[in-house]
């Protein structure tokens, strides 16, 4: 985990970055997007990167960091309660009220399968409860330089959870510092016991790309509510280069996956040209967490 003073330093210092002009056109359908090369520290592509938008369950990456920062026992038992049930339609959960799981199980389900009751239970059992948890989320956002972001609940079901593609790139980079988040967010499938040990429940990752052998993903999170559209953020290795990909408000069911695959092909096709530009460029790099406006 990163020292909070380092976060503050990154958040306070901003540099101007030039987005590299690459010859092969990238056609991203998502309403907002950003691609950041973490090794060369360059923004390769942005589209409406500073538009403030609802982010749905991308929120759960922040919730995971706050949970882990509290250093609560990961094997501690948490029981799902009625207060963990969200009254919004179409938010069904397979975790029944009264079922008990270890904190690490709920954290894994929250990240890989976007389980809302799991996330709500993690926030409820945080020191100081739900209000303290949400306050910690907003404080963490400021520390890592997410200055255009706001969190109103831990799950992302509240459309008051808003951010920008640029801020979410910072969130992905920060999340990557946590081994637990890297592991849990990219778990392809996972089983947990049903209440009263009546068999098992199997969960699959909400990002189908983690099961695709052509992808090497370090951090992943999907999101969807009507107000946000379909969203996807990832940190992935593409042809040996470490990329942060942010895709927001993809209208079609499969658009975010299609966009991600288009990004992968675009990065691969432009790799030799990009490397040549980096060597010849005198433009300042954009250190991680700064990602200043281009």
For residue 273, the model assigns a pLDDT of 67
**291 belongs to a structural domain:** no
Domain count for the chain, please give it.
1
The CA distance from 111 to 63, in Å, is 9
For residue 186, the model assigns a pLDDT of 98
For residue 251, the model assigns a pLDDT of 85
pLDDT digits (tens, 9 = 90+) for 42-70: 999 999 999 999 999 999 999 999 999 99
For residue 22, the model assigns a pLDDT of 56
For residue 98, the model assigns a pLDDT of 94
**290 belongs to a structural domain:** no
**76 belongs to a structural domain:** yes
User: Could you confirm whether 208 is annotated as catalytic?
Assistant: no
User: Could you confirm whether 242 is annotated as catalytic?
Assistant: no
**Which tokens go with 245?**
């990909």
To the nearest 10 degrees (0 to 180), the angle between helices 116-124 and 129-143 is 100
Cα dist. 108→52, 72, 166, 187, 266 in Å? 28, 15, 26, 8, 31
For residue 137, the model assigns a pLDDT of 98
For residue 10, the model assigns a pLDDT of 46
For residue 271, the model assigns a pLDDT of 80
The reported pTM is 0.88
For residue 13, the model assigns a pLDDT of 39
For residue 286, the model assigns a pLDDT of 53
User: Could you confirm whether 253 is annotated as catalytic?
Assistant: no
Cα dist. 262→41, 122, 162, 242 in Å? 21, 35, 26, 16
Instruction: List CB contacts of 193: < 8 A, sequence separation 6 or more.
Output: 199, 200, 201
The CA distance from 227 to 55, in Å, is 9
Alpha-carbon torsion 25, 27, 31, 34, what sign? negative
Q: What CATH code is carried by the domain that includes residue 116?
A: 3.40.710.10
Given 57, 163, 175, 250, the catalytic residue: 57
For residue 34, the model assigns a pLDDT of 98
**292 belongs to a structural domain:** no
The CA distance from 163 to 149, in Å, is 4
Given 30, 110, 114, 149, the catalytic residue: 114
Beta strands (DSSP E) in 38-87 are 42-47, 53-54, 77-79
Given 47, 60, 143, 221, the catalytic residue: 60
Q: Which residues in the chain come in under a pLDDT of 50? A: 1-2, 7-20, 289, 294
User: Could you tell me how far CA 232 lies from the centroid of its own chain?
Assistant: 7
List the domain range (segments joined by +) for residue 85.
4-280
């Amino acid at each position: 985990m990163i020292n909070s003073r380092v976060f503050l330093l990154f958040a306070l210092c901003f540099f101007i970055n030039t987005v590299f002009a690459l010859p092969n056109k990238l056609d991203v359908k998502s309403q907002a997007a950003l691609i950041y090369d973490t090794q060369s520290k360059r923004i390769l592509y942005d589209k409406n990167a500073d538009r403030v938008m609802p982010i749905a369950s991308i929120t759960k990456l922040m919730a995971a960091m706050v949970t882990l920062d509290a250093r609560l026992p990961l094997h501690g038992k948490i029981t799902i309660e009625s207060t963990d049930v969200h009254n919004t339609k179409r938010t069904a959960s397979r975790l029944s009220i009264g079922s008990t799981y270890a904190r690490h199980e709920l954290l894994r389900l929250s990240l890989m399968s976007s389980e809302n009751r799991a996330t709500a239970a993690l926030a409820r059992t945080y020191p100081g409860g739900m209000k303290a948890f949400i306050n910690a989320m907003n404080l963490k956002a400021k520390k890592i330089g997410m200055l255009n972001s706001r969190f109103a609940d831990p799950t992302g079901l509240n459309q008051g959870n808003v951010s920008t593609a640029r801020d979410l790139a910072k969130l992905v980079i920060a999340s990557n510092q946590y081994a637990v988040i890297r592991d849990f967010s990219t778990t392809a499938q996972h089983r947990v016991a049903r209440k009263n040990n009546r068999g098992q429940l199997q969960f699959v990752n909400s990002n189908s790309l983690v099961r695709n052998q052509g992808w090497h993903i370090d951090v992943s999170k999907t999101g969807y509510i009507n107000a946000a559209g379909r969203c996807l953020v990832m940190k992935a290795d593409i042809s040996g280069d470490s990329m942060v990909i942010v895709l927001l408000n993809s209208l079609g069911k499969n658009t975010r996956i299609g966009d991600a695959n288009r990004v992968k092909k675009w990065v691969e096709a432009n790799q030799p040209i990009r490397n040549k530009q980096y060597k010849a460029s005198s433009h300042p790099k954009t250190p991680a967490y700064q990602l200043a406006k281009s």
